Structure 1
Amino acid sequence: MQYRRDKKGNELSVLGYGCMRFTKNGSSVDLDKAEKEVMAAIKAGVNYFDTAYVYAGNEAAVGEILDRNHCREQIYLATKLPHYLIKSVAGAEKMFQEELRRLKTDYIDYYLMHMLTDIPTWEKLKKIGMQDWIEEKLASGQIRNIGFSYHGNTEMFKQLVDACDWDFCQIQYNYMDEYSQAGVEGLRYANAKGLPVIIMEPLRGGRLVNLLPESAKKLFRADKEGRTPAQLALKWLYNQPEVTCVLSGMNSMEMVEQNLKTASESHVGCLTASDAALIEQVKEEIKKHVKVGCTGCGYCMPCPRGVDIPGTFRCYNAMYSEGKKSGRKDYLQCTAFRKDTASASQCVGCGKCEKHCPQHIEIRKELKCAASELEDVKYKVMKSAIQILKLW
């Protein structure tokens, strides 16, 4: 495993473990499976683990795995405060103590203001005393490093970097977001200020692997160097000296092993001219097929009307990257076969989802477009039949 240092000299593994996408067994985390994957990563040298208060069941799963294996001190633990759910310092303290309980620890190595969006939001937090609360936690050692995660434009990101004496930050960054979100300009700005930058969504929620259009997949199948989509996307990130740690939401042993191999072989300056050319070709093919830029993060959920928003967009994109039949079949399975249907047409346009979307997608508009294409006559007939069967 390779390591890169933060501003305090801590050596962080270049591959970080994103815990949001643990495999589920029903509605709960498949703890035994997750434990095998997490411990394989730790054994190989991964030492940065990222979770959050709002990732259902994940903090508790991480805490249980670390406790079972007596390895809390071997790793750096990162989690996040959903500041958008609190109205007071007392509320923040209550959530923080709950996180410590779930994680079975008495301190957090890297603590983030989750999805800090703009300066007015930060000023509002300061007015209720959050900056003083943070300073007290840092002084006590309950929080070792303070930072923020961000989805938004470059200019606002730079303003937030300068708004506080942060220890680190976390941004969405990949070869499709080089000039969107904080982007390469934001990455370099934070680095110039001495901030370690943690990368999330390096594969855009898996879309740069599993949901590539067929034309892009053909490029990889024909590649004489045998490069894989995930390998190339991660290599593109590791090539950049401003990147400190890349989070991957690993949920299979194969994924863990492949990502460990890439992390061990990649370094600053590793991207070849051939790599760069293939990435440009893939980008062009993706741009031809993507309908909605959803990463599947789930921040838009739950929908008051029960719509599976990320699932809908995944199927909608699949219609154009994998074929209409495939997309519609998947959509029928993930919306009509549920106990409570989750169809896009259930949207009533309340707009709650759009307030929380990190990608700033016009969700209501896109859901209407998705419904018009996914919910054809065959879908409606099948959905009605399934509803009747449910009543029997």
Structure 2
Amino acid sequence: MESIEKTSKMKYRKDKNGNPLSILGYGCMRFTKKGNSIDIDKAEKEVMEAINSGVNYFDTAYVYPGSEVTFGEILKRNNCRDKISIATKLPHYMVKSKKDLEKYFNEQLRRLQTDHIDYYLMHMLTDVMTWERLKAFGVDEWLKQKVHNGQIRNVGFSYHGNTEMFIQLLDAYDWDFCQIQYNYLDEHSQAGRRGLEAASKKGLPVIIMEPLRGGRLVNLLPEKAKNIIKENSKKRTAAEWAFRWLWNQPEVTCVLSGMNSLEMVQENIKVAENVTAGEFTKEDFELIEQVKNEINRNIKVGCTGCAYCMPCPKGVDIPGTFHSYNMMYAENKKNGRREYLMCTALRKNTSSASQCVECGKCEKHCPQHIEIRKELRNARRELETPIYKIAKTVVKIFKVY
């Protein structure tokens, strides 16, 4: 990849092999639509603004409608494939045989009009059992061959789930990088800070998705939280605070942003050019805590995500359940239920609240003294909707994962 460090003010952090990755990455899932298809001319202006400003990590996926094709065409039009790294993802949940591995990968090469993928992820890898299922198809040998012949440069996985399973997955293969959902609201949920630090200790670059929680940390902040940010003397936007909180951590390699306007690209680049790891002051951290407190004012369960209650003998993801339950009231019911579905049902070994047999083991270890059994019953009633139960049954019957 052609170096662009010397021609831009963009900041870079290193991948496992010492290659520079821009701290701001471009998430290609949210290209603007024009009718039923992507507005490629608009997307081209935005992507090229990013490339010309030093952004060199672009993330897409097989299942993002039109994204790979659009991005591949933009690179071809501007003859700039060698200036950037492409990250895309294997839809392993669609793989039924070793032939499927080759089929989907070759289709992705055609869509992207390239002969190699720089960063190839197992998309939304849910647990070790799912990885073992792929290994039964020979995915480890297949990946080894692709790396050997240069068609894949780095192998990783993206993840939604709890911290414990994430740490187990880190040891399941000799990964080159990983991608997690992480932001100041998810500091102690999903892979969380503990997962981030565990990956960093293994020398893995960590790519961050959902830094703004799908815009939640910008557009849907409570009014009091907006005022806290507005009245601060540093006059940063809500998005800038969220990005700076992430980049303050040296373990964070690259933060993805689904940029779909020229103004957004330019604003995010300006911030990325002027940050330093470890720059946060005591007052900065206090502001983030104040904003979090306003967001969480309507939460149902005072769970901090410490996971002292884990592991559950029946496999219930207790912190994940409470996080999703709280999200229903801190954000909205749809987001909370979606989170719960992804983190508990879409995996071979489910971790639903309904698996609880009320043994009480968890409550003996909870530093918050939460009535866990009672709250799991409450959460189950609201989270395990008919749609959830259908999805869980489909996964079980058809072994989707």
Q: TM-score range by the shorter chain?
A: 0.7 to 0.9
Equivalent position of 1:230 in the other structure: 239
RMSD: 2.9
- AA partner of residue 14 (structure 2): R
CA change 1:360–1:82 in 2 (3 A) is farther
Secondary structure of 1:195's match?
Answer: coil
2:25 touches 2:256 (CA, 8 Å); kept in 1?
A: yes
Alignment partner of 1:11 is 2:20: yes
User: Which residue in the other structure is 1:44 paired with?
Assistant: 53
For the 8 Å contact 1:13–1:48, the answer to whether it is kept is: yes
Name the residue aligned to 1:383. none
8 A Cα contact 2:27 2:258, kept in partner: yes
Distance change >3 Å, CA 23–CA 363, structure 1 → 2: farther
Aligned match of 1:89: 98
Among 248, 253, 267, the alignment partner of 1:239 is 248
SS at match of 1:55: coil
Matches within 5 A, 1:95-106: 95-106=104-115
1:70–1:155 Cα change, 3 Å = same
Shift of 1:12: 0.3
AA at the equivalent of 1:116: L
8 A Cα contact 1:152 1:359, kept in partner: no
Which digits, 9 at most, give the CA deviation of each residue in 1:103-159, with x for residues without a partner? 010100000000111111111110111111111111111000000011111111111
Alpha carbons 2:180, 2:208 under 8 Å: kept: yes
Q: Which residue of 2 aligns with 1:153?
A: 162
Amino acid at match of 2:127: D
Structure 1: distance between partners of 2:266 and 2:88: 24
The answer for the alignment partner of 2:132 in structure 1 is 123
Q: 1:214 aligns with which of 223, 227, 250?
A: 223
Distance 1:8 1:356, change over 3 A: same
Partner residue of 2:78? Answer: 69
Per the alignment, in what secondary structure is the counterpart of residue 217 of structure 2? Answer: coil
Partner of 1:186 in structure 2?
Answer: 195
Equivalent pairs: percent with the same residue? 62
Q: CA deviation at 1:9?
A: 1.1
8 Å CA contact 2:160, 2:342 repeated in 1: no
Task: Check the 8 A contact 1:354/1:363 in 2, yes or no.
Answer: no
- In 2, distance between residues paired with 1:183 and 1:320? 19
Aligned partner of 1:55 in structure 2 is 64
Give the distance between the partners of 2:108 and 2:41, measured in 1 at CA. 21
Write the letter of the residue equivalent to 1:167. D
> Shift of the alpha carbon at 1:21?
1.1
* Contact persistence 1:213–1:289 (CA under 8 A): no
Structure 2 counterpart of 1:305: none
What is the DSSP-based 3-state SS (H/G/I as helix, E as strand, rest coil) of the residue aligned with 2:277?
coil
Deviation (angstroms), 1:319:
9.9
Confirm or deny: 8 A CA contact 1:22 1:30 kept in the other structure. yes
**Range moving further from structure 2, 262-271 or 357-366:** 357-366
Q: Among residues 158, 172, 182, which one is paired with 2:181 in the alignment?
A: 172
Shift of 1:7: 1.2
Cα displacement (A) at 1:62: 0.6
- In structure 2, list runs of 5 or more residues that go unmatched: 1-9, 301-326, 354-378, 387-401
Q: How many residues align?
A: 321
The one-letter code matched in structure 2 to 1:106 is D
- Spell out, residue by residue over 1:16-62, the C-alpha distance to the aligned partner (whole angstroms, 9 max, x if none): 00111111112211111111111000000000000000101101111
Q: Using the alignment, how far apart are the partners of 1:201 and 1:353 within structure 2?
A: 15
**The one of 199, 204, 209 aligned to 1:200:** 209
Deviation of 1:254 after TM superposition, in Å, equals 1.3
Conservation of the 8 A alpha-carbon contact between 1:211 and 1:318 = no
Question: Any conservation in 1 of the 2:161–2:342 contact (CA below 8 Å)?
Answer: no
Aligned counterpart for 1:113 among listed residues 102, 105, 122: 122
* TM-score normalised by length of structure 1: 0.76
Unaligned runs of 5+ in 1: 292-316, 322-326, 328-343, 370-392
Distance 1:73 1:360 in 2: 45
Partner-residue secondary structure (3-state), 1:209 = coil
Deviation at 1:289, TM superposition (A): 4.4
Residues 184 and 242 in structure 2, CA contact (< 8 A), matched pair in contact too: yes
Q: CA offset at residue 224 of structure 1?
A: 2.5
The Cα shift of 1:219 comes to 1.5
The 2-side partners of 1:159 and 1:269 are apart by: 29
Residues 1:252 and 2:261 aligned together: yes
Q: Which amino acid aligns with 1:220?
A: I
Letter in 1 for 2:17: K
